[in-house]
Amino acid sequence: MKKTTYILVIVVLLLSAGCRPGSKAGQHSAGERVLTVTIEPQRFFLEKIVGDRFTVNTLIPPGANHETYEPAPSVMTDLGKSSIYFKVGALGFENAWSERLGKNNPDVAVVNCSEGIEAIEDAHSDHAHHSHEGHAHSHSEGIDPHVWTSPSAVRIFTANMYKAVVEADPENEAFYKANFDSLTRRIDRTDSLIRDLLQDIPSRGFVIYHPALGYFARDYGLHQYSIEFEGKNPSPRQLKELVDIAHAENIHIVFIEKGYDTKNAEVMAKEIGARTYTIDPLAYDWDGELLRIARILAGKNNE
């Protein structure tokens, strides 16, 4: 009986060793081809392009705040195992990572996915008294980094990804081209659905705690007003000015991103008689989240 039990234990251990999930930091098998991105929406795009030809890692884990996240040394070690690092392009901490990566792993190519996209100055919102300085600790050169919230920008963003993948693996160009074309059609379809939803809405303005939807607003003729002021909570005077703007523009929607302060957003919502909605611009489900935001603005979301 003991011998039989011993054999069963060995079999179970061998089977479990062969069935471990991959793509976690530090758990890549020998010969596995790895690409790394900064945020989950990038992983969504890149996995659609590369299919099963590469494993795609994300530096910032789901639910983390990209404004405050600090990677562990093990994350940087894992980044060094990639053939390409796809950075968003204007997230300030990416520059530091790229510099460290260049020193320690010069063979890892770095691709700026935002290359060629018309940037928005990091003005935080249309809110008149907000400065254009940006978050000194998080955004690069006063540029709004949230380009992935714009389908029109994402067309350029994903084209940059596709070109880099083909350069790295030209033998599979036809495979990547078919996948990229399919992704582009999905982006176009998402854009069309959002335009239909936002064609006739009660107000073209919305309040948001952290100004993550500037490119989305530009695409669809909307006005984004952020509660956050230069990366900090607003003063009572600033909050009062924002309340006045919201009343003037008949705004009844306040967005709160996951990982950010809710207190001031809830105060703001109460003052203007608005509902608060938690959104996640960093979600892997890129098109699903943008469509959800559009449905909320159109009053067609069942929440």
Q: pLDDT by residue (tens digit) across 250-263?
A: 999 999 998 887 88
Q: What is the DSSP string of 15-32?
A: HHHHT----STT-PPTT-
* Angstrom distance (rounded) from CA 115 to CA 211: 21
What CATH fold (topology level) applies to the domain 202-298? Rossmann fold (3.40.50)
Same-fold call for 29-119+145-193 versus 202-298: yes
Chain mean pLDDT for the chain: 84
250: left (phi over 0), alpha (psi -120 to 50) or beta: left
Fold entry, domain 29-119+145-193? Rossmann fold (3.40.50)
Contact between residue 83 and residue 35 where contact means Cβ atoms under 8 Å apart: yes
- Closest by alpha carbon to 243, among 217, 223, 270? 270
pLDDT given at position 3: 45
- In the three-class reduction of DSSP (H, G, I as helix; E, B as strand; rest coil), residue 250 is classed as coil
Mean per-residue pLDDT for 42-52? 99
Hey, where are the domains in the chain?
29-119+145-193, 202-298
Predicted pLDDT of residue 231: 78
**Residue 200 pLDDT > 80, yes or no?**
yes
pLDDT of residue 136: 29
Span 202-223, mean pLDDT? 97
Average pLDDT estimate for 237-260: 94
Where helices occur in 169-201 by DSSP H, the ranges are 173-197
Tell me, what's the pLDDT at 31? 67
pTM listed for this prediction:
0.84
Half-sphere exposure of 165 (CA within 13 A, CB side): 33
pLDDT single digits (tens) 138-188:
455 588 999 999 999 999 999 999 999 999 999 999 999 999 999 999 999
